[in-house]
Amino acid sequence: MDNEMKRYTFLHFSDIHFNKQSDSIFSPDRDLRKEMLNDIEQVILKKELSPYGIIICGDIAFSGQENEYKIADEFLETLTGKLKIDYRHVFCVPGNHDVDQSVAKKFVSVYAVQKLLEEADENEFQSYLVKLKEETEQQKVDLLYRALKGYNDFTGRYMGNVSSIEGPWTYPLELEDGYSLCLYGINSTIISNADDHRKDDNGKEVLRKMRLGNHQIPSRENKVIYMTICHHPIQDWKEDLGQVLDDRAMIQLFGHRHVQTLEQNEKRVRIGTGALQPDRREEGWQPRYNFLEVCIEHSKLRVVLYPRIWNKDLHKFICEESFCDSGKERKEIVLSLEHVENFVPEGMADINTSNIRETDDSKRELVYKLWSLQNHERESVLRQYHEFDGICLNDLNQNIVKILNIAEESKLLQKILKDIGQRQTNINK
Q: 225-251: per-residue pLDDT in tens?
A: 999 999 999 999 999 999 999 999 999
Torsion of CA 284, 189, 168, 266, to 10 degrees: 40
What is the reported pLDDT for 2?
A: 46
What is the pLDDT averaged over residues 135-153?
89
Contact (CB, 8 A) for 412 and 385: yes
Give bridge partners of residue 11 from the DSSP assignment.
54, 291
Q: How confident is the model at residue 394 (pLDDT cuts 50, 70, 90)?
A: confident
Q: How confident is the model at residue 357 (pLDDT cuts 50, 70, 90)?
A: low
Contact (CB, 8 A) for 27 and 21: yes
Contact (CB, 8 A) for 268 and 335: yes
Chain center to CA of 257: 16
Q: How confident is the model at residue 345 (pLDDT cuts 50, 70, 90)?
A: very low
Give the up-direction half-sphere exposure of residue 325: CA atoms within 13 A in the CB hemisphere. Answer: 10
Q: How confident is the model at residue 343 (pLDDT cuts 50, 70, 90)?
A: low
Rg of the chain, C-alpha, whole Å: 22
Contact (CB, 8 A) for 61 and 343: no
Q: Is the per-residue pLDDT at 350 higher than 50?
A: no
Q: How confident is the model at residue 409 (pLDDT cuts 50, 70, 90)?
A: confident
Give the up-direction half-sphere exposure of residue 362: CA atoms within 13 A in the CB hemisphere. Answer: 17
Q: 368-387: per-residue pLDDT in tens?
A: 888 878 888 888 889 889 88
If you count them, how many residues does the chain have? 429
Residues 6+ apart with CB under 8 A from 388: 382, 403, 406
Q: Is the per-residue pLDDT at 69 higher than 50?
A: yes
Give the up-direction half-sphere exposure of residue 382: CA atoms within 13 A in the CB hemisphere. Answer: 30
Q: 88-103: per-residue pLDDT in tens?
A: 899 999 999 999 999 9
Give bridge partners of residue 18 from the DSSP assignment.
61
Contact (CB, 8 A) for 8 and 86: no
Q: Percentage of the chain surpassing pLDDT 90?
A: 65
What pTM did the predictor assign? 0.86
Question: What is the C-alpha to C-alpha distance for residues 315 and 319, in angstroms, rounded to an integer?
Answer: 13
More confident residue, 161 or 320: 320
Contact (CB, 8 A) for 65 and 150: yes
269-283, 374-388, 401-415, range with greatest mean pLDDT? 269-283
Question: What is the C-alpha to C-alpha distance for residues 192 and 146, in angstroms, rounded to an integer?
Answer: 12
Q: 13-17, 20-24, 289-293, 373-377: which range is least confident on average?
A: 373-377
What is the reported pLDDT for 139?
A: 82
More confident residue, 178 or 205: 178
